Amino acid sequence: MLEFMAETNPFQDPLRFERHVPPCAVVIFGANGDLTKRKLLPALYRLAYERRIPPGFAIIGMSRTAMTDEAFREKMRESVQQFLEDSPFDAALWDDFSRGLFYVAGDVNDDAAYTALAARLKEIEVERHTEGNALFYLSTQPSYYARAAEGLGKVGLAKQVNNAWRRLVVEKPFGHDQDSALVLNNALHEHFEESQIYRIDHYLGKETVQNILAFRFGNGIFEPLWNRRYINHIQITAAESIGVEGRGGYYQEAGALRDMIQNHLLQVMATVAMEPSAVFEANAVRDERAKLLRSIKILKPSEVAANAVAGQYGKASIGGKEVPGFREEAGVDPNSNTDTYAAVTVMIDNWRWAGVPIYIRSGKRMPKRVTDIAIRFNAVPHSLFATETEDTARPNLLILRIQPEEGISLRFSSKQPGGGMKLRPVSMDFNYGSSFGMRTPAAYETLLVDAMIGDPTLYTRQDMVEASWAVVQPIINSWAERKDLPFPNYAAGTWGPKESDDMLAARGHTWRIP
């Protein structure tokens, strides 16, 4: 299988070491947007800085605003300088890089825009030697995704001819609910094959999320314990201290369940809980992720209240500073019932996980920014030291720290020095920064390279997206029907509503404070 991969795709090293980007053009729809300036251009520039971008390369920005190539280059230079994290800005390199930047003004809803784009791409192909390969990156308003795919299809830009590849990267959110995700999948498939569609979930590109697979399947000692016999429950937390940061309009329509859990956190959960694939190859890995997502127990309407909690932050004073409540944020309806916090109990109906609750929570305006996975093992079956101190009862805890302090910790009990057998929890820690002493690539760098190389391992497939919508849909339906939401139900700067603690307490568990 590995040999087969190497033969068919010379740009993809099956072990993902040598990853050369082939000549290509990257077309960004929504070039005037936030994602382009904060993430995409800084990531592409950083790849150029690392000499991973070939000479035959071009970036074409597209949006409605009229702009010359020069003006676009200038705008992108400012963005890259502003948003380039932990990398130096090299003016000479920028000059060279920016010669490959172009701009086409056009409305996604207008057929003429695609004709203009096709013509410009032809010229650029000759000028920049991009060999007809093109990556179309949809970073517009999600309601335009289907229209953009259609526009590209109609002018022949979705067709792969003469060995030239054409791929479509689709930003999240992929659909607003289960039905619209299905409709969008069908609309994209009218013009692009599934193998050409790269649905991005930037959490899968994070080094620490990829490391979950290395940790589980690259070591012999953890996997035998990774099941219902040894694991009591799992907690997945993605807390953000920020509020909606000027995205009130979008967020009000989305909410925490859709914005974080339906995509990022269910994918992270699938990575933690999936079966090992036989080979590390895109479809083999994605088959396992998809299988896991399909094994999640779908809640009946009557089960939602006990297994899902919605929260919304209210105003508070944090460190002497007044922080507005969600309903007071710009662009938000003062009666909004949108969840800025969501917690869900997930049960997986398979042999490995039956009966092991996986608690997932995510919220804005929490006390700090932290994403981690805490795996709580069973307590010892019979405690010799139980009478000494209650600490002896604290079971082993494995914490996979996704961000910001990236690493892994294992908590275990140790004898406190001195007389008697007094135990105390201590921790064995691995820290990325100090162990490797090198820069961690940003998720968008990894994922852009993957898409250009043609490696979809870290991209979500149609069946995965549909399976994860199926999981959250009953919760969405049930929340939409509730008129009595007691919002706001947590103060900004706290760990969410009391109902969330009650949800765990019903099973004898408590949320860990990360």
CB of 108 to ligand BG6, least distance (A): 21
Our finding on whether 240 is near ligand BG6 (CB under 6 A) is: yes
Which residue is catalytic, options 191, 202, 233, 264? 264
Cβ neighbours, 10 Å, residue 183: 14
Of 169-198, binders to ligand BG6 (CB under 6 A) are 172
Among 125, 259, 455, 466, binds ligand BG6 (CB under 6 A): 259
Q: What CA–CA distance (Å, rounded) separates 336 from 212?
A: 37
Residue with the CB atom nearest ligand BG6 in the bound state: 259
CB of 342 to ligand BG6, least distance (A): 12
Cβ within 8 Å of residue 392, ≥6 positions away? 383, 385, 386, 413, 423
Question: Closer CB to ligand BG6, residue 259 or residue 288?
Answer: 259
Residue 160 CA to residue 133 CA, distance in Å, equals 8
Q: How far apart are CA 50 and CA 36, in angstroms?
A: 20
**CA dist list (Å): 29 to 141, 217, 315:** 10, 38, 37
Among this protein's residues, is 264 annotated catalytic?
yes
Q: Which has the closest alpha carbon to 156: 24, 462, 200, 164?
A: 164
Looking at the Cβ atoms of 240 and 406, the one nearer to ligand BG6 is 240
Q: Which residues pair with 464 in a beta bridge?
A: none
Q: How far apart are CA 326 and CA 329, in angstroms?
A: 5
Nearer to ligand BG6, 77 or 172 (CB): 172
Q: How far is the CB of 210 from ligand BG6 (least distance, A)?
A: 14
Least distance CB 435 / ligand BG6 (angstroms): 22
Nearest distance, CB of residue 240 and ligand BG6, angstroms: 6
With 0-12 CB in 10 A as exposed, 13-18 as middle and 19+ as buried, what is 459?
A: buried
C-alpha dihedral sign at 10, 100, 458, 46: positive
Q: How far apart are CA 421 and CA 19, in angstroms?
A: 54
Give, in order, the Cα–Cα distances in Å from 423 to each of 305, 346, 382, 388, 485. Answer: 39, 33, 15, 8, 45
Dihedral sign from CA coordinates of 42, 47, 50, 53: negative
- Choose between 157 and 476: whose C-beta lies nearer to ligand BG6: 476
Contact characters 366-395, ligand BG6, x per CB under 6 A: -----x------------------------
- CB closer to ligand BG6 out of 157 and 448: 448
Binding positions for ligand BG6, 145-174, rule CB under 6 A: 172
Q: Is 445 in the site for ligand BG6 (CB under 6 A)?
A: no
Report the residue number, 205 or 357, with the smaller CB distance to ligand BG6.
Answer: 205
What's the closest the beta carbon of residue 259 comes to ligand BG6, in angstroms? 5
From 200, 108, 198, 195, select the one nearest 154 (Cα to Cα): 108
Catalytic residues, by residue number, are 264
Give residues in contact with ligand BG6 (CB under 6 A). Answer: 172, 240, 259, 371
